[in-house]
Each structure stands twice: as structure tokens, then as C-alpha cells.
Amino acid sequence: MNKIGKKEIFILLGLVFLLIGLPLMVMVVKQSQELRRGAAGSGVLKLLLRPASADKRRGETLNVYVKLRNISSSTKEIRVAGFDLTYDSSVFQVDSDSIVCNGPLPVPARTEVSSNKIEVVCIKSLGSATASIVSGSGVNLAQITFQVKSGAALGNSEVNFVRTNIPDAHTEVDLSDAGVGGNYRIITDSSPTNTPRPTNTPGGPTNTPTRRPTNTPRPTNTPGPTNTPTPDPNAFCNDSDGGYEIYTPGTVTTNEGDFSDYCQDQDTLIEYYCLSYPSPHANPDPQSCAGVNSVCSDGACIQPTISLTPIPSPDAPRLSFKVKFDGVTGKIGDQYVKVLVKRQGFTKEFEDVLVVADDNGVMSGTISLVGVKAPRRYYLVIKGPKHVAERFCVNKQNGRCESGQMLVIRRENNFDFSAWLLMAGDIPDQNGLQDGVVDSVDFGRVKKALVSTDEEERARANLNFNKTSGGKEIVNGQDISMFLGTMSTRYDDDY
Amino acid sequence: MKIKKNNWKPAMSTIVITLSVFIIAESIWLVGKLEEISQRATSSELAVTPIKEEVKIAEPEALIKAAGPAVVSKGEEFILTVSLSARKDFSSDGMDVVLTYDSTFLEPVGVSAKINPDSLFKTAGLNLVEEDKARILVTILDLQSPGGVAVRAGDESDLFTFGFKALKTGKTVVVVNNDRAERRKTQVIKASTSDPLVLEKEDLVVMIK
């Protein structure tokens, strides 16, 4: 008979450890997966930060929009949306007053900033009203201003979602995904800032897709009655363009292979980005480049350098048009207008369309109507930078258009709308956003600009664009008079 | 504890097999339990409840009230008065009022509101009835004071009046529409920032006999 040796005792202790330790490990792993899943919800409403990447210097501000996109096949009704973001407080400073709910849920019910966390809840209203998020649409949910600290370290700094919650207004099931954050680079004061939208110049960034999947896009996370997605512990996902970034070609690298952003056609970009639920994977998302006044090229939406040269697009009809701003009788600086091409059941929006004034104040612009089929009848809606949108349905229109459409042909379309003035009064806010009506808020902006020394504020409220010989903006009684004139005649966007 | 050397290996095998069975059974039980928790979390209260608790309602800074007779006869004309009562101190450059009504019960008398000459704001920027949308839009502004009209908590002001004719019997409501999600809404703006005040509203409920 021999006593049990040390070796045997160690084996026994190891087995006892396994008995207790293995289940504990399983529990810890499952709980961490559960936390991620609980944050994500059903995933049909995607939360994104735009821009997803940017270069900023110390002291500069970074305006980040929280976007909401409905990727389901049906309209979703919501009353409230909440999300928490984490950021590096040694790099960014965030003031809770800078957080704005500015989309379909415009009332900020909670905007709190702690040391490195931002908590936001936006609601529709204090009542029971709901907001409809149409299938396939993307809307702004909120805007947050980050101030880069003067002592911020150079390099990349991430802003990420840590909690999202957008309950369905009727079932209260969380519809949100886990959110896709942003990665922002703090650069030296002397280094040039990267332009977020690459210009369409020869020799620009090109991208050779390493793998272009031919199968249908991977289904998104719609909850099914039977299959519960199983997380893959070995999965990983990295996006070279930092996330949902349509202006930069990128490649998503996963354990299943590489997926490069590519152009399905000259309008549609298939943008790949990483989703983390149930496991990290590449998710394809079709994005209309025409919607951001761009064309799709080499895996990115490319906006041409600002010029009157139309976007080269042999198939798209071209629109050359003239408009005139109320109160402008001479040459003014280049301006940007929004053009909507509309017919029943169809709307194509072209933002930031450059218009250039002649010596009589007539503004001319040209756009390639990518995504607009021709020949067909449409009407146009044109909205100036501080103007009420006007509907145009006939060439040389000289009165209000109640109904009717005009023919848009395949090649050149020349329309002169300068006889029916764009009326000023929908004053943009400090972020350049207009709300589509002329009301007391706009009046307050004009009145405030009367005594303001802030040139930008005065420029926004300078309705007739007049300046002193020294180039200073003039805001005076004429602007008040123009404002009151607009309010009494054309006080809402005419769609 | 003493175990014979030649009995050690079978005893060890029995222990290992028993412990392995325990470990596997325990793991299966834990995975099942966590799946159950996971499904509860994704489907209901864990994800939803916190936000509901976080919603805070801001304190109103002013009350916009639509007042008038509670009972009128069919065919009778009556006057509705819109007033502002300040709950806090503020300065304002103007305000918008949007009233909506049921056109099957009420017919507007006239094409615009009558602005009270003693109102806080004396200049009408917009003053019309949109009969097709059954709404009345009034924007009144201050053109006099550079810093806006100073209003003290407790101040009250009748802003304007508007006439209606009762068309048929029943109960109807003239609504002060201050839904902030609407593009055009009732709002009072602060002079310094052009931001809207937090408003409380009171609609007019009319019984037509």
C-alpha cells in the first residue's frame, strides 16, 4: 500500500477546478455576449455617426450627426430613441447644451454628459404622437458638437455607441441595432485637413475590390420565430474606411473574407461596414450617391470639384436653370440651392447645387439629373439658402404653380425661372439647417442679426445679400421688410 | 487516506468520468438558463424600461390659452380669445399661434384674427385662415424693442380674438397646436437665442346645442 503522491493530488485538484471553473467561464462568456445582444435590439433601425471619420485640429469643433436608417421592409412607428456614446474626454469636450434632437424626434428628453459618456433621449413630443420612419429612409436623429481640447493628444480617437434603444411605438420591442461609431483623427495645427469628399480628379483614390460578392446581401438581423443567431467567437471585422463612410472607398476584412465597397451602377454605392450582432460581420448597404449630389465611382460617392461643368454622365438628362432671389439686383457671391425633381410617387433630391449670379442678379446652375428617367414630365422645387422653396412647373414661369409638370428630355434641358422670385425668410440656423417655414424663429434671427457683430450670423440674416464697400454684411430695415413681405405671402415651403 | 497502488487507476478513471459528466451537465444547464435570460432581454423590459424612466418633462415657461364660451347654440357666432400667461421671466421677439378646428362643427367668421392693440406683440407678420386645412395662423412680432419684449412671471396678455360660427350640435375642440414635431406650430421665441419657450397650452372645448 502506498500513499497518494503529490501528482495525484494535483490531478484531483485540477478536476475540481474544472468542475467549478468551466461553468463559470461559460457563464462569463455568455453574459458578455448577452450584454452586446441586449444593446443591439432587433437591428432594423440602424444608428450611425456621420461623418464616420474626420481630421480635426486642436481647438476645432466637430459636428457629428447621429443618423437613423430603417433597413426593414416596412415603416416603423417610434416615439422615443435613446443612445449612449462613449468618447475620450482627454480629447473631446462636450457640452450638454450642444446636443440637439433635430429629426423626427425633436424634443430632447435627456441630454447628459458625464466624464466620458453622452446619454441622449429624443422624443416625438410630450404627448403620445409617433414618428414614422419609412422603409429604406435615413433621417437625422440628433447632432452633437465635440470640441477638440487644446491639450488633446494627436492620433485617432473613437466615439462609440454603448447602448441603443428605440422601442416600437406599439409593441415596445427594441428596433435598434448596436450602432456604428466614428473614428476621428486629431492632427497637428500645421498639417492640412483632409477633405471629407474626395474631388473627382484624375489620379484620385482608386480602389480595386479584392472580392466582390455575387450572392445576395447577407440578411440583416430581423428577429425570426425559430432561429436564434448563434455568435461566432472567432469572428472579426475591420473596416478600412472607419465605418459607414460613403465618400471613401474601403474594404471590410472579416474572417469570412474581404468585402470592398463597389458601385452597383453610377448612382448606387454598395457600402460595406461592420455590424457586431450576432457576430462581427460585413453588412452591405445600398446608398444613392445622387441623393448627395454625387456619382458613384471606384467604390465611393464622388462629388466633382465645384464648377459649372456638369457631372460627366452620358445617360442622365442635364438641367440648366436660372433663378432669381428676391431683393438681389446685382452680382453676388456663389450660392448653393437645393433642387427636387418630382412627380407622383417619385422624388429625387439634389443638394448643394451651385448657382452663380450675373450682373443682374440672375443665378444660373447646371446639374446632371442622375437617377431621373427621361423623357418624362416632372415639376421642380428649388430652395435657396435662406429662401422658401418654390415649385416650378413651366419654363419661364411668372406666377405660382398650383399644378402641372414640364417635360424633361434626355439631353439638355434649359429652364428660366428667374421671373418668379425665390422669397427670402427661411433663415438657416447656425448649422446651416432650414426648417421649411417662415415664422417667429426666423424673425428672431433677423432681429438679432440687426445688432450682432458676428459676420456669419449677419450673413445668414442678410436677405438681400448687400454688403458695404468693405465687404461687411448689411442687415437693416430692408431685410425686416423683405421678411415681413415673405411671411405675408409665401410663408411655407411649396412642395 | 490510503489507497492501494493497484486500485488507483480504476478509482481515478471513475472519478474522472463522474466529474466529466457533472461538468457537461452543468454547462448544458447554464447555457439553457442564459439563453432564456437573453430572449427576455431582447424582447422586452430590460431594453425598454430604462429610457422610459429617463424621460423628463420640462417645466412650462408660459401658458397659451384659447378661451371662449363653453356652450353655444347652433347657428350662433362666438368669439375665441387667445392669451398668454407667463410662468417665468423672459424676453421675446414674437410668437406663432396655430389653431386647428373641426370644419364640420365650426366655420370661421372673417379671414383673419383681430390683434389686440394692447397685446405684448403688436405687429402681425402672418394673420390668415387656411380653410382647406381648417387652421388659423397668426404670427405676432415685436419691432420696437431691440432686446425683445420683457415679460415677468405672472404677466398676462390677451393676444388676439377670432370669430367662429357654430354649424351643428355636438362637442368640438379648438386646438392650440404646439406639437414641436410639426413644422408650423404655436411657439414663443426667446429674444436672445430665438429658441422656443417651453409652453403649456389650453384648448377651447365648446358644446354646441
Lowest mean pLDDT among A386-395, B17-26, B83-92: B17-26
% pLDDT > 90, chain B = 60
Q: Which of residues 348-407 of A touch B (CB under 8 A)?
A: none
Contact B34 A488 (CB under 8 A): no
**A40 closest CA partner among A165, A139, A159, A141:** A165
How far does the CA of residue B79 sit from the closest CA of chain A (Å)? 24
Q: B-chain residues within 8 Å CB-CB of A131?
A: 181
Contact A80 B52 (CB under 8 A): yes
Give the pLDDT of residue B183. Answer: 85
**A294 closest CA partner among A339, A338, A352:** A352
Letter for the amino acid at A370? V
Q: Is A223 an interface residue toward B (CB < 8 Å)?
A: yes
Find the angle CA(A379)-CA(B137)-CA(B189) to the nearest 5 degrees.
105
Q: A-chain residues within 8 Å CB-CB of B191?
A: 444, 447-448
Q: Specify the higher pLDDT residue, B47 or B19.
A: B19
Give the list of residues 6+ apart from residue A374 with CB closer than 8 angstroms, or none: A317, A408, A409, A410
Contact A34 B57 (CB under 8 A): no
Give the pLDDT of residue A280. Answer: 76
Q: Which of residues 115-154 of A touch B (CB under 8 A)?
A: 119, 121, 123-127, 129, 131
Give the pLDDT of residue A230. Answer: 60
> In which element (H, E) is residue A24 found?
helix A6-40
Contact B183 A18 (CB under 8 A): no
Contact A444 B94 (CB under 8 A): yes
Q: Specify the higher pLDDT residue, B62 or A153.
A: B62
Helix runs in chain B, H state only: 5-43, 45-54
Q: Regarding beta strands B106-115 and A346-357, do their DSSP bridges make them parallel or antiparallel, or are they unpaired?
A: unpaired
Give the pLDDT of residue A32. Answer: 53
**B166 closest CA partner among B205, B108, B110:** B108
> In which element (H, E) is residue A20 found?
helix A6-40
C-alpha A246 chain-centroid distance:
10
**A58 closest CA partner among A143, A144, A196, A154:** A154
In angstroms, rounded to a whole number, what is the distance separating the alpha carbons of residues A377 and A394? Answer: 11
In angstroms, rounded to a whole number, what is the distance separating the alpha carbons of residues B25 and A486? Answer: 77
pTM for the whole structure:
0.52
Give the list of residues 6+ apart from residue A278 with CB closer than 8 angstroms, or none: A37, A221, A229, A230, A231, A232
Highest mean pLDDT out of A25-34, A36-45, B16-25, B51-60: B16-25
Cell numbers at residue A472, please?
A: 461687411
Three-state DSSP at B37 gives helix
Cell numbers at residue B160, please?
A: 388676439
Give the pLDDT of residue A102. Answer: 75
In angstroms, rounded to a whole number, what is the distance separating the alpha carbons of residues A15 and A396? Answer: 89
**A443 closest CA partner among A458, A469, A461, A431:** A461
Domain definitions of chain B by residue range: 5-54, 62-208
Q: Is A42 an interface residue toward B (CB < 8 Å)?
A: yes
Lowest mean pLDDT among A202-206, B167-171, B191-195: A202-206
In angstroms, rounded to a whole number, what is the distance separating the alpha carbons of residues A413 and A410? Answer: 8
| Residue found by looking up cell 420591442 in the block | A173
Helix runs in A398-468, H state only: 440-450, 455-461
**A251 closest CA partner among A193, A309, A317, A298:** A298
**E-strand stretches of chain B:** 2-3, 62-67, 71-72, 77-86, 90-100, 106-115, 123-130, 135-141, 149-151, 156-166, 170-176, 187-190, 199-202, 204-208
* R_g (Cα) of chain B, nearest Å: 34
Its CATH class, for the domain covering B62-208, is mainly beta
Question: Out of B27, B44, B192, whose CB is closest to A23?
Answer: B27
Give the pLDDT of residue A189. Answer: 67
Q: A-chain residues within 8 Å CB-CB of B136?
A: none
| pLDDT (tens digit per residue) in B134-152 | 999 999 999 888 889 999 9
Give the pLDDT of residue A308. Answer: 40
**A123 closest CA partner among B91, B52, B104, B159:** B52
In angstroms, rounded to a whole number, what is the distance separating the alpha carbons of residues A493 and A372? Answer: 22
Contact B54 A121 (CB under 8 A): yes
Q: Which residues pair with A273 in a beta bridge?
A: A283
Query: Is residue B176 exposed (0-12), middle (13-18) or buried (19+ Cβ within 10 Å)?
Result: buried
Instruction: Tell me: ipTM over 0.90.
Output: no
Give the pLDDT of residue A231. Answer: 64
Asked if residue B31 has pLDDT above 70, the reply is yes
Q: What is the 3-class SS of A126-185, one letter each residue?
A: CCCCCEEECCCCEEEEEEEEEEECCCCCCEEEEEEEEEEECEECCCCCECECCCECEEEE
Give the number of other CB atoms < 10 A from CB of residue A127.
11
Instruction: Indicate which of A440, A475, A493, A494 best probes the interface with B, i.e. most B CBs within 10 Å of its own CB.
Output: A440
Give the pLDDT of residue A293. Answer: 62
Q: Specify the higher pLDDT residue, B203 or A246.
A: B203
Query: Is residue A28 exposed (0-12), middle (13-18) or buried (19+ Cβ within 10 Å)?
Result: exposed
Give the pLDDT of residue A126. Answer: 60
Contact between residue A330 and residue A359 where contact means Cβ atoms under 8 Å apart:
yes
Query: Is residue B45 exposed (0-12), middle (13-18) or buried (19+ Cβ within 10 Å)?
Result: exposed
Q: Which residues pair with B153 in a beta bridge?
A: none
Contact A441 B196 (CB under 8 A): yes
Give the pLDDT of residue A242. Answer: 66
Give the pLDDT of residue A225. Answer: 38
**A166 closest CA partner among A144, A142, A143, A145:** A142
In angstroms, rounded to a whole number, what is the distance separating the alpha carbons of residues A386 and A433? Answer: 9
User: The dihedral of CA B31, B33, B39, B42: what is its sign?
Assistant: negative
Measured between CA atoms, the residue of chain B closest to residue A167 is B48
Contact A440 B125 (CB under 8 A): yes
Contact B48 A167 (CB under 8 A): yes
> What string of pLDDT tens digits covers the 495 residues of chain A?
455 677 777 777 877 777 777 667 766 665 655 444 444 457 888 888 877 777 788 888 888 888 888 777 777 889 889 999 999 999 999 988 888 887 778 888 888 898 889 999 988 776 667 888 876 666 778 889 899 998 888 888 999 999 899 988 888 888 998 888 888 888 876 544 433 333 333 333 333 333 333 333 333 333 333 344 566 777 788 887 766 677 778 888 888 888 888 888 777 888 887 776 667 778 787 777 766 667 788 788 776 544 444 444 557 899 999 999 999 999 998 899 999 999 888 888 888 888 999 999 999 999 989 889 888 899 999 999 999 999 999 999 988 888 888 888 888 899 999 999 999 999 998 888 888 999 999 999 999 999 889 898 999 999 999 999 888 999 999 999 999 999 988 888 877
For chain A, the farthest-separated pair of C-alpha atoms sits apart, in whole angstroms, at 115
Instruction: Give the C-alpha distances (Å, rounded to integers) separating A97 from A128, A145, B182.
Output: 25, 9, 22
Query: Is residue B4 exposed (0-12), middle (13-18) or buried (19+ Cβ within 10 Å)?
Result: exposed
Over residues B82-97, the mean pLDDT reads 95
In angstroms, rounded to a whole number, what is the distance separating the alpha carbons of residues A427 and A448? Answer: 12
Confidence label for B47 from pLDDT (cuts 50, 70 and 90): very low
